[in-house]
Amino acid sequence: GTVAVGFAVSQVGEYTVTVVAAADRAAGLAPLMNLRLNQQRLGETVYVARTGWDAYGRTVRLAPGEHRLELEYINDGERPLPG
């Protein structure tokens, strides 16, 4: 699944984008997520190993204006269905 949020910055500069996530394993697999900013992937795939909340951050350079952050769980839905 994917979730997205829009936001704006007023000045050009270095910003840290932080996602707080926790693992809910499906069939023994920890979640894998990709972060995208303005449709550009931010770094490598993130392995969400902890079952407790943890912060995953990336530093980016942003221009003033509107931006869109997307978080995509790339192995979402791999949980076996009951029955």
Alpha-carbon dihedral sign for residues 39, 43, 2, 74: positive
Q: What is the pLDDT of residue 77?
A: 59
The whole-number average pLDDT for the span 69-79 is 79
Residue 25 has pLDDT above 60, yes or no: yes
Q: List, for residues 44-69, the tens digit of each pLDDT value.
A: 999 998 889 999 999 999 999 999 99
Contact indicator for 42, 57 with CB cutoff of 8 Å: no
Transcribe 48-73 into DSSP letters: ---SS-EEEEEEEEE-SEEEEEEEEE
Q: What is the pLDDT of residue 78?
A: 57
DSSP 29: B
pLDDT band of residue 24 (cuts 50, 70, 90) is confident
Q: What is the pLDDT of residue 66?
A: 98
Alpha-carbon dihedral sign for residues 40, 78, 81, 55: negative
Q: What is the pLDDT of residue 68?
A: 97
